[in-house]
Amino acid sequence: MLPIETLLPELKQTLEANTTALLQAPPGAGKTTRVPLALLDAPWRHDRKILMLEPRRLAARSAARFMAKQLGEAPGQTVGYRTRLDTRVSEATRIEVVTEGILTRLIQNDPLLEDYAAVLFDEFHVLLFCD
């Protein structure tokens, strides 16, 4: 069992009441591959997709492949990905792992991202500057 498993019920409860959550856990805890799958059955999704930003192409494809394998599927079914020159999505896709360029294009085409119930930022780094 991955360390993130114990936090998933609280995360899901938080997202029932709020539209934003910040999840911080050490590398290898399962944030990338367990959180999107755990949110698939969230009632607030209303069958809209989950979009996950993964900055690097290799990481995006790997994460999507791993999640798909956990479901016993191939990429492009429930879990898919979009990277430059490589896309595996279908009408059945409910989790899309994308890179920054793809996310930018999606926002340009649909600024409200109306097909998506959630946008997850993986590997999100924040710099704080204090005087």
**Residue 125: per-residue pLDDT:** 60
Residue 67 in any domain: the answer is yes
Inform me whether the pLDDT recorded for 126 exceeds 80.
no
Least confident stretch, 44-53, 84-93, 122-131: 122-131
Q: What is the mean pLDDT of the chain?
A: 92
Looking at the 3D structure of the chain, how many domains does it have?
1
Inform me whether the pLDDT recorded for 84 exceeds 70.
yes
Residue 112 in any domain: the answer is yes
53, 63 Cβ separation under 8 angstroms: no
Residue 130 in any domain: the answer is no
Inform me whether the pLDDT recorded for 73 exceeds 90.
yes
Residue 94 in any domain: the answer is yes
Residue 15 in any domain: the answer is no
Inform me whether the pLDDT recorded for 47 exceeds 80.
yes
Print the domain residue range for 114: 3-9+27-121
CATH code for position 115: 3.40.50.300
**Residue 66: per-residue pLDDT:** 97
81, 60 Cβ separation under 8 angstroms: yes
- Give the number of other CB atoms < 10 A from CB of residue 104: 11
Residue 21 in any domain: the answer is no
Residue 127 in any domain: the answer is no
Residue 45 in any domain: the answer is yes
pLDDT average, residue stretch 13-42: 92
